[in-house]
């Protein structure tokens, strides 16, 4: 399986999970998806990550996002681990964890790298849009917990830039100024798209208030 790249269609699959059998594309429906992997159950960093995902339920729902996790352990192990997560992280895991014991999904998404353990998925994140297109990927080392604020920030940027002719600058967060695309030059079109005006730092660097706020 070749490495998946941005713009590729997220591969479909059928696999068992803590919520029962899942057919991925059907399960995703018209939602965005945050799909992330874990090396194994009962691991400390991943316990905090799954707990954090559960506590962000409203944030994901507001963005029309469904989270889903995968580990190579079986469902019964997942269910025991969920009990620990709920207890230690003071939350309720409310999203599916795929049981990828045959490594079908891990292989399909290139989550087992040659230099990693054969039973451990690389800690990857795939952000997938409603058209099932892979829009962003992140890969973390086992020692470093994922930054869920950054994952939400990426989704906010993607959803904003899909709807408006802008890009988001370094360290952008919701409410900050954004960058007008260099391809947009017609004065009438600029006025129509950006009624609040803009500030031209350079001809190619034009800042404007976030259009949808």
Q: Which residues are catalytic?
A: 46
CA angle 88, 35, 107 (to 5 degrees): 110
Evaluate whether 73 touches 39 at the Cβ level (below 8 Å): no
Helix (H) or strand (E) holding 50: helix 44-55
172 CB burial (10 A radius; 0-12, 13-18, 19+) = middle
State the Cα–Cα distance between residues 71 and 39, nearest whole angstrom.
Answer: 6
Neighbour count for residue 156 (Cβ, 10 Å): 18
């Amino acid at each position: 399986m070749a490495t998946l790249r941005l713009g590729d269609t997220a591969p479909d699959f059928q696999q068992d999970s803590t919520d029962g059998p899942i057919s991925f594309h059907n399960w995703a429906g018209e939602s965005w998806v945050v799909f992330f992997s874990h090396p194994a159950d009962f691991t400390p960093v991943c316990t905090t990550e799954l707990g954090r995902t559960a506590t962000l339920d409203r944030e994901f729902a507001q963005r029309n996002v469904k989270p889903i996790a995968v580990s190579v352990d079986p469902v019964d192990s997942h269910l025991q681990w969920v009990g620990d997560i709920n207890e230690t992280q003071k939350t309720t895991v409310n999203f599916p964890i795929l049981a990828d014991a045959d490594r079908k999904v891990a292989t399909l998404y290139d989550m087992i790298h040659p230099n990693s353990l054969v039973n451990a998925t690389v800690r990857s994140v795939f952000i997938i849009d409603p058209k099932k297109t892979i829009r962003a990927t992140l890969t973390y080392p086992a020692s470093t917990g994922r930054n869920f604020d950054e994952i939400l920030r990426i989704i906010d940027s993607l959803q904003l830039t899909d709807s408006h002719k802008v890009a988001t600058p370094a360290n952008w967060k919701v409410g900050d100024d954004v960058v007008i695309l260099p391809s947009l030059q017609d004065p009438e079109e600029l006025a129509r798209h950006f009624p609040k005006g803009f500030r031209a730092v350079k001809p190619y660097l034009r800042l404007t208030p976030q259009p949808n706020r």
